[in-house]
Structures are given as structure tokens and as C-alpha cells.
Chain A
Amino acid sequence: MDKKNPKKNTVMVIEDEILLLQAIVKKLELNNFNIISCTSGKQAIDYLKSLSKTPDVIWLDYYLKDMNGLEFMREIKTNNLWSEIPVVVVSNSASEDKVKNMMAIGAKKYILKAEHRLEDIISTIKIIINEEKVSKN
């Protein structure tokens, strides 16, 4: 992992599909983000444990190989610091109950992957980071 620019915002991307992950990382780089890319839920938790500064936002795919979005959310909600991090769910499946459950546990946004362009999602992420900053200040 390359050295992070502290001035830049950091996005933790959790996506088990390598091709998608590469596209996302590339697009986020172009948009000047620090990126922590993870291919599994466990890897993401391990990173969170080792990092001194929590990421500004988490980009979460719902279906991961080792756990689903809900399980991941429950995991990060066990830690006060982590539970502050806004989560954007980007998934192939957006059934009513999934959306409802994820939003209820604290996800900021639920986005259907194939229906949205990368640029649109990144805009959403930027907005969320700004909102967070405003509300913190």
C-alpha cells in the first residue's frame, strides 16, 4: 500500500470481485482519494484494527465471500470508533428487506451496482464525506 496523503480523504473499498475492485480503485485514484482495498470482510476488519486513523468512508459490497453486508455491519458496530464511519453499500441485489435491514443498522446509502455509473457513486461518496465533516464540525 502506498503512502497515504493525509490531506486526501480515505475510502476503504471492500469488493471481492477483482475486476470491479480494480475499476473502483482506478476511478477513486483519479478522483484523488486514498484507497484501502480489501477483498474480504475479514481483511477489512484486520485493516481497521491496524490502522491509526479510521477511513472516511467505507465502500461495501453486500455479498462477500466470507460474510454478508449485515454481518460486516454488526462487526464494525462493536467498536465505537468504527461505528462512526459512514458506509455506502454498493450491491448487485437490492431487495426490500436487505435495503431495510442495512439502513436500519446504520448504512448511509444503498446503491444498485449495475444501475449506476462509477462517477455517480463517487459523487455520492464525496457528498457523504462532506456531510460527515460538516456534522462533525
Chain B
Amino acid sequence: MTKISLPTKIVLIMAFVILSIGYITAKQVTKYAEEVLIKRRKSEISAANSGQAQEISQILDNSRLFVKMIALNTRITEYFTQPTVTKHNELVDIFDEYKRDDNQYESLYLLDKNGKVLISTDRLAIGQDYSFHEYFKKAINGEAAAEALIGVTNANLGYYFSHPVKTKNNQPIGAVVAKLEPGHINRSLVNTKVNREGNLMLADAYGVILYSNKQERIYRSMGKLNQAEQQKIGTEQRFPGKKIIPLDYGSVQEIIRNYQESKTIEFYDLAKKEDEMVSISKTGDFPFYLVLEVGLPDVAGTANEISNILAIGMFSSSIIATIILLIIISGFLRPLSIFKNLSNKVSQGDFSQRINLANNDELGDLARTFNDMTEHIQDIYKNLEQKVQEKTNDLSIKISELEKTKKAMFNLLEDLNIEKTKINEARVKDDAILSSVGDSLIAVDYKGMIMTVNKQAEIMLDLKADEVIGKSYLDYIRLADKDGRIIPNDQRPIYKTLSTGTRIIDNSYFYTKKDGTKFAVSITATPILLVGKAIGAIDVIRDITKEKEVDRMKTEFISLASHQLRTPLSAIKWYIEMLLNGDVGKLTVDQEQFIKNVEESSERMISLVNSLLNISRIESGRIIIDPQPTDLNELLIGVIKELEVKFFEKKINPTVNVEPNLPKINIDPKLIRNVYINLLTNAIKYTPEKGNIAISLTKKDEQIISQISDNGYGIPKREQHKIFKRFFRAENIVKLETEGTGLGLYLVKAIIESSSGRIWYESEESKGTTFWFSLPVSGSLAKKGDVTLDS
């Protein structure tokens, strides 16, 4: 920005202020002057106009008096009383004489009471009937009159003055009329001020213009004539042969029509596009009106001229005042520039500067104070310099240290940010994974306190993460059995998982929501193991209401099917029985053999139905496990005895080896019996005649292990992975033995596993097979259900 010195600023401001005031004043003066001028001009014009009108009225008045004078001549009255030729001639002479005396009159007339011209200086008029003229009508009514019209005989405009001629009894008996030449009046107007001022017009009582300095306006009316006026002008034959065309001065016409006093009006002239003023004055008591039209710009022009002169004056005075001010102020302020220069030097460190100023005013004081100050600073500065140097050195060391620290901090922050981002990413991923899991998921620490719950858990279990995190799982997740009994804590899967470090799966519980509604759940509690110790657990809870429903339907279906299948099977079985028994007569050998074949098939069918039923019972989880203290040896011997016939048929003598002093264990004997029957039946079936079958019972750790070995056909290696699958039958076996459902081993495995045991095998094709299964000495866990096998 350009630097502006103080004096310049002051001068500029002053100049601005003076000029502004000057401008405003000039503006105001102009406006006022214009107003005053216009007002004055208006009254001037108005006065001039009415003055001029007055002058015209004087002329007219002279003519009126002239006519009156003639009318009062007694000779005329006498002539009317006793008309004689002598008197007539005498009067003709008198009229001629009057005209000669005053030659401004074009003609003089004497009219009788009927308006007939008796005597006239215009000989052509004698004998004419002028009764239609207004001036006659008025005169015969006893009134003097004056009007302008175009004459009958010479078709010239003239101002006609009439006066009645009266009898001694004051009765009008005729009229004297004088026609004044218009030039007489016109001349009186031509050289007047008003005539130069603007458009001057003289109009009659109808607004018809008789004189104007604009020739073309003559015989035109100011504004529109109404119908009565037009008619009157016509009948009175005022302007024969002239068509009265109105001008555009309707308001003037109106003023004339209702004239009371002289008036000045302003209006906007559309044709000229300027403001105009019009002054209207009546010529005394004569029915003529002087109208002066002046354009207003002329007035404003004068005002502007005045204001221009004023403005120029103001402006030049302002400039002169400004220059004078500039000179004076810069004189006053000169010391300031000295201060400035010295201050500059001081600020650059030169404290030796002093001001030599002897002024006896504020500036002088300032100079002295300035000198004191620089002296003082000079002293301080000497010490300061050294100290500052020292501090500066210290500071620069500290700054460089700070820089290093800052850099290190930045690096650290950057690392932190990267880590933070990674953690956030991981967390977001975890959250996404957890919330997309369809099952409820609850993580607890080793004390069973809830650490995390996923979205599904909040929805399914009707709880809020904020409320349960940090609280005890066992308190917040309430489980009940199907009868609504609360599950004791030590039987809860999460408790078992945390205390044993093993995964626990349980499908038999119900979760109760806050509102009391409950639903079946499958709970999988998995320990979080750290060096073999559970430091927490993950509990996955699944709503299995649907599964339960499907199971229920499946069981219902099977139960129905069993009823339907078993009825015809029973009928077949019983009728075969009676046939073979000879209840309906003795059978031939062939017949008996055939029926036996039928019986065999029907028995197989019955056993297939039973197997299917057993499997569905096991699968549905509805099977009852009812453990009782059982001597496995006794159970095994019973089964072998049951299968005696089958062993005998295959000529196999099984070897049985039982470890002495085996404890009784808590298992469901019905179920385990089924296992032995299945495994032994298989061994017999798939071992050729005279083969070996060995059975043993041993205790190892806390398990009792049953072993059933044969040296039969064995199971091909490639098929071994399928042996516990439903309906599995080995290829080599199917060729040899057609009977079999493929359900035996599947059922065996299911029973063992639901009895807390384990089953495994070894097999080689054509060499034989060995099955082992273990049952814990601690026994199977009891399980409530609603079905048993083979029922």
C-alpha cells in the first residue's frame, strides 16, 4: 500500500470536507433559487398578463364610452319620437362626423327597435336586419354590450360595442353600435413585453382566439366548444365562414367558461415535451380574455445559471482554501518528518540520535521526551546485547534438542497410527464375523464373566451388550429343562467346559427370555485353552425350536408308519404261523418249504422295520438312557446264549476272555445288549463255517473295553471309511450274504456314543475284523426321553 504522509492526509480530508459541504450547499442554493425564481417568475408573468389585460380594458372602455356618448345624443331620441327626413339627414351627418373624429372605428350604426339598420357610416349596411346579434339583443334590453365578430357586409373581424337608445321614460327604442378595428387592439399587444415572453392570445367569452402572436391560432377555440356554445355562435353568425377548430387548452377553455379572477396554471405540454405555465386574465368587465403561455425551462434555465455560477465560485474557493491549508499544515508538521527519520534510525539500532527542536509547544515537549528515551535505551541496550547473545545460544541448543524429540515423536506417532489402523481393521473384521454369525455367541473369561456378545445374541436372547458385559454368565443366561426347572450351575455347559477344559454340546435345554417365553436351544461351549488351561470359553447358542419341531414330526411319522407296517406284518406272521402249525390242514413238503420262505422274508421285514424305528429313535434324541449297575460279563454271556443256535449253525465255538474282578458299571443294559447282539450277529454272519470268533472284556484306565474279533471276510480298505454310515454293506459281503439291512453298525455307534463310550475297529479283507468299544467305569449319563429300543 502506498504510504500517505500525515499532512497529505489532513489536506485531503479537509479538501474532501470543504468540497462536500460546498457541493451540498450549491445544490441546496440551486434548488432554493429555482423555487424562488419560479415563484417570482410566475407572479411576474401573472402580473404582466393581468396588467396587459387591464390596458386592453382601457381601450375597450374608451370605445364603450364613445358609443354611450352617441347613444345619449338627444337628437337620436328625438328622431325616434318624430322621424323626419330632416332629422334623418341630420343624424347621418352626425354619425359621419363621429367617425371622422375618431377613425379607429370602421363603422357606426343606428338600429331601430327591431334591429334594422336605420343609419350607418357603412352605406351597404343600411336596411340590414342585425336583430340576431347578441349586442343588439342586449342593447334593446337596456344593456350596453361589447363583442368581437366578423361583420356581415365586409367580412372583417371587428369589436362591436352597442348601447341602447332610450326614451325619456327610460324605455329602449333602438341601439347605437360601433365597430372597432381589431388592429387597434392588436397593435397595443404586439410591442408589449408579454408578447415577447411567450404565446399571447386574446380570446372571447367562447374561448375563440381573436388575436395571437401565433397567426395560425386565430379563430380557433382554446378547447372544445360544447353544443350550446357552437349553436349560439352559429345563430348569432359571429364567425361566418370560419370553422372553429379547438386547440389543446381544454383547462384554459374551462377557466374562461367559469371565469372569476385571473389565474395562472402549470401543465405539461405533450407536443413540446416541457412544463409550461399559462396565465389567464379577463379584460376588466369585457368578455375578452388575455392568455399568456410561457415554457418553464426558461425559468429553470435562469436558476441553473445562478447555481452554476455559485458552484464554480464554491469550487474555486475550496481549492484556494485547500492550498492555503496545505501550506499552513505542512509548516506545522514539518518536525514530524524529523521525528520519523530519527525514529527510523533508532529502530535500526542507532541510539545516538538526538532531536534539535526549540519549539515551545507540544512538539517541543515531544522532542525532549524523545531525547530522554533514546538516551535511556542506549544505556539498557549495552547490557542487553550480551545477555541476549547468551540466551540465544542456549535457545538454539534447546531448539535442536526439541527438533530431535519432535522427530522421534512423529515417528512414534506414525507407528502408533499404523498399529491403530491395524487394530481397528482387525476389530472391524471380528465384529463383522461375529455379527454375521447366525447363532448367539457369548465369550466369557475364566471366572465366567461375559466379555463379548454378538448381535444375534442380543436379538435372540433379548439382552443388551452394555448391560451384560462384565456380568456373570450364569446369572444372566438362564436355562431350564423341558419342564421349566432351572438347570443347576454345575450342570451348565459353560461351567463344565471351564472346569474340565473340554467342549460340551447340549441340545436339551430351554432358554427363558425376560418376558418369560422360552425356546429350545442347542448349546456348544468351547473352552479357550492356553497351555492346556481354560482361560475362558465361547458359548454358541442356537435356537433349535424348528429342529425340535421337525424331529417331532419325523418321530410322529415313523410311529404312524410303524403302526401301518406292523399291522400287515403281524397278519402275515400269524397266518403263516397257523399254516405251518397245520391249523387249517396238513401241508405238503413243498408247501411247507415255500411257506417257510415266506416266513423268513416276513421276519426280515419285521426286523428291518424295527431297525428303522430304533434308528429314528436314537437320531431324534428321544431315546431313554436308563443306566443301571450292570455286570457286563453277565450281559455278554446272556447274549452268547441267545445266539447259541446261530453259532451252532456256523459251527463256530466262540472263545470268551473276561478280566477278573471287573466292576459293575452304570449303563443301560437294554442298549448295550443291542450292541453285543449286533456285533456278534455280524461276526457270525460274515465268518465262514468253522471260523473263529473271540470275545474279551478288559479294563484299561477308567474304561471297560469289549473286543469282538473274527477271522471272517473282512471289510475292503477302500470301503472302511463308510462302515458306520446308514445302509452300508460291503461289496464282498453283498455277494455272499443277501440278508442284512446295513443299519446294524450305524445303530451300534449311535448307542455307544450316547452312552459316553467310543467304538473303533480294524479289518482286512479275507483276514477278519475286530471291533472294540469302550464304556467309562463312571458309567453313562442318564437321559430322559420318551422311547426305548424295540418297542
Interface residues of A (CB under 8 A from B): 17, 19-20, 23-24, 26-27, 30, 63, 92-97, 99, 112-115, 117-119
Residues of chain B contacted by A30 (CB below 8 angstroms): 583
With A95-B787, A112-B791 as given contacts, are A23 and B578 in contact (CB-CB < 8 Å)? yes
B578, B624, B786, B790: most-surrounded residue (chain A CB, <10 A)? B578
Distance in angstroms from A134 CB to nearest chain B CB is 29
Contact A20 B567 (CB under 8 A): yes
Distance in angstroms from A136 CB to nearest chain B CB is 31
Partner-binding segment picked from B179-187, B558-566, B634-642: B558-566
Contact A23 B571 (CB under 8 A): yes
Distance in angstroms from B509 CB to nearest chain A CB is 22
Q: Which residue from B571, B606, B609, B787 sits with its C-beta under 8 Å from A20?
A: B571
A99, A115, A119: most-surrounded residue (chain B CB, <10 A)? A115
What are 17 contact pairs spanning A and B, CB under 8 A? A19-B571, A20-B570, A20-B571, A23-B574, A23-B578, A27-B583, A30-B583, A92-B567, A95-B559, A96-B791, A97-B786, A99-B791, A113-B567, A114-B570, A115-B606, A117-B573, A118-B574
Distance in angstroms from A123 CB to nearest chain B CB is 13
Residues of chain A contacted by B606 (CB below 8 angstroms): 114-115
Residues of chain B contacted by A119 (CB below 8 angstroms): 577, 581
Against A, the Cβ 8 Å flags (1 = close, 0 = not) of B554-594 are: 00000100110011011101110110010100000000000
Contact A113 B570 (CB under 8 A): yes
Distance A24 CA – B570 CA, assembled complex (angstroms): 11
Interface residues of B (CB under 8 A from A): 559, 562-563, 566-567, 569-571, 573-575, 577-578, 581, 583, 606, 609, 624, 785-788, 790-791
Q: Which residue from A19, A26, A93, A96 sits with its C-beta under 8 Å from B583?
A: A26
Contact B563 A95 (CB under 8 A): no
Distance A20 CA – B578 CA, assembled complex (angstroms): 12
Distance A99 CA – B790 CA, assembled complex (angstroms): 13
Distance A84 CA – B331 CA, assembled complex (angstroms): 150
Chain A residue at smallest Cβ distance from B786: A97
Contact A92 B570 (CB under 8 A): yes
Distance in angstroms from A101 CB to nearest chain B CB is 12
Distance A19 CA – B790 CA, assembled complex (angstroms): 24
Chain B residue at smallest Cβ distance from A117: B577
Contact A93 B791 (CB under 8 A): yes
Residues of chain A contacted by B581 (CB below 8 angstroms): 119
A17, A94, A117: most-surrounded residue (chain B CB, <10 A)? A117
Distance in angstroms from A127 CB to nearest chain B CB is 19
With A93-B791, A95-B791, A96-B791 as given contacts, are A63 and B563 in contact (CB-CB < 8 Å)? yes
Residues of chain A contacted by B574 (CB below 8 angstroms): 20, 23-24, 27, 117-118
B559, B562, B574, B575: most-surrounded residue (chain A CB, <10 A)? B574
Q: Which residue from B562, B573, B578, B624 sits with its C-beta under 8 Å from A26?
A: B578
Residues of chain B contacted by A115 (CB below 8 angstroms): 606, 790
Contact B575 A93 (CB under 8 A): no
Distance A20 CA – B574 CA, assembled complex (angstroms): 8
Residues of chain A contacted by B786 (CB below 8 angstroms): 95-97
Distance A19 CA – B606 CA, assembled complex (angstroms): 18
Residues of chain A contacted by B578 (CB below 8 angstroms): 23, 26-27, 118
Residues of chain A contacted by B562 (CB below 8 angstroms): 92-93
Distance A47 CA – B528 CA, assembled complex (angstroms): 70
A24, A114, A117: most-surrounded residue (chain B CB, <10 A)? A114
Contact A92 B566 (CB under 8 A): yes
Distance A119 CA – B578 CA, assembled complex (angstroms): 9
Residues of chain B contacted by A97 (CB below 8 angstroms): 786
Q: A94-B791, A114-B606 are known; give 14 further A-B pairs, CB within 8 A.
A: A23-B571, A23-B574, A23-B575, A24-B574, A92-B563, A93-B559, A93-B791, A96-B786, A96-B787, A113-B570, A117-B574, A118-B577, A118-B578, A119-B581
Chain B residue at smallest Cβ distance from A113: B570
Residues of chain B contacted by A95 (CB below 8 angstroms): 559, 786-788, 791
Distance in angstroms from B576 CB to nearest chain A CB is 10
Residues of chain B contacted by A17 (CB below 8 angstroms): 567, 571
Distance A114 CA – B116 CA, assembled complex (angstroms): 169
Distance A112 CA – B788 CA, assembled complex (angstroms): 13
Residues of chain B contacted by A19 (CB below 8 angstroms): 571
Distance in angstroms from A128 CB to nearest chain B CB is 20
Residues of chain A contacted by B788 (CB below 8 angstroms): 95-96
Distance A99 CA – B791 CA, assembled complex (angstroms): 9
Contact B569 A96 (CB under 8 A): no
Distance A115 CA – B790 CA, assembled complex (angstroms): 9
Distance A114 CA – B176 CA, assembled complex (angstroms): 170
Chain B residue at smallest Cβ distance from A97: B786
Contact B563 A93 (CB under 8 A): yes
Chain A residue at smallest Cβ distance from B560: A93
Distance in angstroms from B245 CB to nearest chain A CB is 131
Distance in angstroms from B610 CB to nearest chain A CB is 8
Distance A92 CA – B570 CA, assembled complex (angstroms): 8
Distance in angstroms from A82 CB to nearest chain B CB is 27
Distance in angstroms from B600 CB to nearest chain A CB is 15
Distance in angstroms from B628 CB to nearest chain A CB is 15
Residues of chain A contacted by B624 (CB below 8 angstroms): 96
Residues of chain B contacted by A27 (CB below 8 angstroms): 574, 578, 583
Residues of chain B contacted by A118 (CB below 8 angstroms): 574, 577-578
Distance A97 CA – B574 CA, assembled complex (angstroms): 27
B562, B571, B606, B787: most-surrounded residue (chain A CB, <10 A)? B571
Distance in angstroms from A15 CB to nearest chain B CB is 10
Residues of chain A contacted by B559 (CB below 8 angstroms): 93, 95
Distance A27 CA – B574 CA, assembled complex (angstroms): 9
Chain A residue at smallest Cβ distance from B626: A96
Distance in angstroms from B485 CB to nearest chain A CB is 19
Leading 6 A-B pairs by shortest Cβ distance? A92-B566, A94-B791, A113-B570, A23-B574, A114-B566, A19-B571
Distance in angstroms from A29 CB to nearest chain B CB is 10
Distance A118 CA – B570 CA, assembled complex (angstroms): 10
Distance A126 CA – B247 CA, assembled complex (angstroms): 155
Chain B residue at smallest Cβ distance from A21: B571
Distance in angstroms from B759 CB to nearest chain A CB is 25
Residues of chain A contacted by B566 (CB below 8 angstroms): 92-93, 113-114
Distance A96 CA – B577 CA, assembled complex (angstroms): 28
Distance A94 CA – B614 CA, assembled complex (angstroms): 12
Distance in angstroms from A102 CB to nearest chain B CB is 12
Chain A residue at smallest Cβ distance from B605: A114
Distance A115 CA – B562 CA, assembled complex (angstroms): 13
Distance A114 CA – B577 CA, assembled complex (angstroms): 12
Distance in angstroms from A52 CB to nearest chain B CB is 31
Distance in angstroms from B760 CB to nearest chain A CB is 31
Residues of chain A contacted by B571 (CB below 8 angstroms): 17, 19-20, 23
Residues of chain A contacted by B567 (CB below 8 angstroms): 17, 20, 92, 113
Distance A112 CA – B609 CA, assembled complex (angstroms): 13
Chain B residue at smallest Cβ distance from A17: B567
Residues of chain A contacted by B570 (CB below 8 angstroms): 20, 92, 113-114
Distance in angstroms from A129 CB to nearest chain B CB is 21
Distance A95 CA – B558 CA, assembled complex (angstroms): 12
Distance A23 CA – B575 CA, assembled complex (angstroms): 7
Distance A19 CA – B569 CA, assembled complex (angstroms): 11
Residues of chain A contacted by B573 (CB below 8 angstroms): 114, 117
Distance in angstroms from A118 CB to nearest chain B CB is 5
Distance in angstroms from B307 CB to nearest chain A CB is 126
Residues of chain A contacted by B787 (CB below 8 angstroms): 95-96
Distance A95 CA – B563 CA, assembled complex (angstroms): 12
Distance A17 CA – B791 CA, assembled complex (angstroms): 20
Distance A120 CA – B786 CA, assembled complex (angstroms): 28
Contact A114 B569 (CB under 8 A): yes
Chain B residue at smallest Cβ distance from A92: B566
